[in-house]
Structures are given as C-alpha cells and as structure tokens.
C-alpha cells in the first residue's frame, strides 16, 4: 500500500480521497482554512525546503517551522518540501 502525504503538514493517508477530505491545520491560508494538499513527490528519507534548503527527516518536521526565505516574507510561511 502506498502512503500519501499532505504537502503542508505531513499527515499520512492510505488514499488520496481520505487525505484531501480533511482540513489541514497547517494550511497556508490558516489552520483549517483549507484541505490537506497531496504531496506529489516521492517518499524520501530526508526532505529539504525548496526555499531555503533546511532539511528534516519528515514532512511534518519540516513544515512545523517558519521559513526565513519564504516568498511571502521572512517567517510569513512554513518550510515547503521539494518534490
Ligand atoms: Zn495537511
Ligand atoms: Zn524554508
């Protein structure tokens, strides 16, 4: 069974349908302001932020922290994993 992850928070689900049915607590518009978004990259042992290069062993660990090179401004958004 493949695992599907949310790009914003790293929530894991066994189907895309169940992943995108629920609201995301780390959605860029605010907690619960939108649904989980499917992470379309492959499963990795190390995830790097596409803006600043910070790396973490999980998507949830990476996206927990604000990014100092976020396009919306310093600390205006979370790290975002590369695909
Ligand atoms: Zn999410
Ligand atoms: Zn970053």
What does the pLDDT read at residue 1?
Answer: 74
4-57, pLDDT tens digit by residue? 999 999 999 999 999 999 999 999 999 999 999 999 999 999 999 999 999 999
- Contact criterion met (CB below 8 Å) for 77 and 70: yes
Ligand nearest to the CA of 5: 1
The closest ligand to the CA of 59 turns out to be 1
Q: Give me the helices (H) in 1-83, please.
A: 16-20, 59-63
Q: How far is the CA of 4 from the centre of ligand 1 (A)?
A: 11
Residue-level pLDDT at 59: 98
Shortest CA distance to 26 belongs to which of 4, 59, 69, 56?
A: 59
Ligand 1 mean position to 24 CA, how many Å? 4
């Amino acid at each position: 069974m493949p695992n599907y992850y949310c790009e914003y928070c790293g929530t894991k689900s066994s189907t895309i349908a169940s992943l995108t049915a629920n609201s995301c607590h780390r959605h860029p518009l605010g907690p619960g302001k939108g649904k989980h978004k499917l992470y379309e990259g492959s499963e990795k042992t190390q995830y790097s932020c596409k803006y600043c290069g910070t790396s973490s062993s999980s998507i949830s660990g990476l996206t927990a922290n604000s990014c100092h090179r976020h396009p919306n401004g310093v600390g205006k958004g979370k790290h975002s994993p590369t695909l």
